Amino acid sequence: KRYESLQINESDYFANNLASIHYSFKRTFEKLRKKPHNEWVMSPPTVNAYYSASKNSIVFPAGILQAPFFDKSFPQSLNYGAMGVVMGHELTHGFDDQGREYDKFGNMKQWWDPEAVKRFKDKTQCMIDQYSEYQLHGEHERGKQTLGENIADNGGLKSAYNAYKKWVKENGEEQLLPALALTHEQIFFLSFAQVWCWNSKPETDHMQFLTDPHSPAKFRVIGPLSNSYEFSDVYKCS
């Protein structure tokens, strides 16, 4: 019943795409002036997650709560390195360049004092400069465009690692995996990086640089690890 007004043609993919977009916008406008109600932005099978500033909430659909992000049979180093970082990422959005402008009730409000705002802007400018130096196919990333997601990537990695170390303190060290000369701290970072294994065409990368608020997958690994003292320590980087 929900889709009875959506007309689909079996032989015209382009027209179907336009009809789908038109239908989506139509449903959005129909909600105007109506009482708000709880509705997920993503469907349960979606492999993604999101933070809602207006609701001050984070949502993890069922699709992402499975391997390779999470499995109850996995070592906790793998779970924290993948799903833990995703959770930390969404939590950090509450304090990024946009999330910080909303209070705990989801209202847009300046709740930081001037000194905190100044220090935040100083530190985030360093991050803008850092990511703007990254190049792919000779094209520089737009560090200002990707700032919010880069803050969340860096904060998510740090908070997840701290959470894993807290788990180890409370539950004890995990047994080392056979035939793998890595500590579980090293496996944590390996799990984080593995999530972003990616293969794309140069044209796709170019379009992402132009429009996407996320950094390319490669830099979503290199950036946070370059800023991580913990990574440098466990891998003995010089």
Cβ proximity of 73 and 66 under 8 Å: no
Cα distances (Å, whole numbers) of residue 174 to 81, 84, 142, 171, 188: 14, 17, 40, 8, 12
Evaluate whether 87 touches 160 at the Cβ level (below 8 Å). yes
Catalytic residue (choose from 96, 149, 153, 205): 153
Q: What is the DSSP letter of 64?
A: G
CB of 209 within 8 A of CB of 139? yes
Which amino acid does the sequence have at 96? D
Rounded-to-integer distance, Cα 158 and Cα 233, Å: 13
Other C-beta atoms closer than 10 Å to the C-beta of 194 total 14
Catalytic annotation, pick one of 90, 141, 149, 205:
90
State yes or no: is 153 an active-site residue: yes
- List, by residue number, the catalytic residues: 90, 153
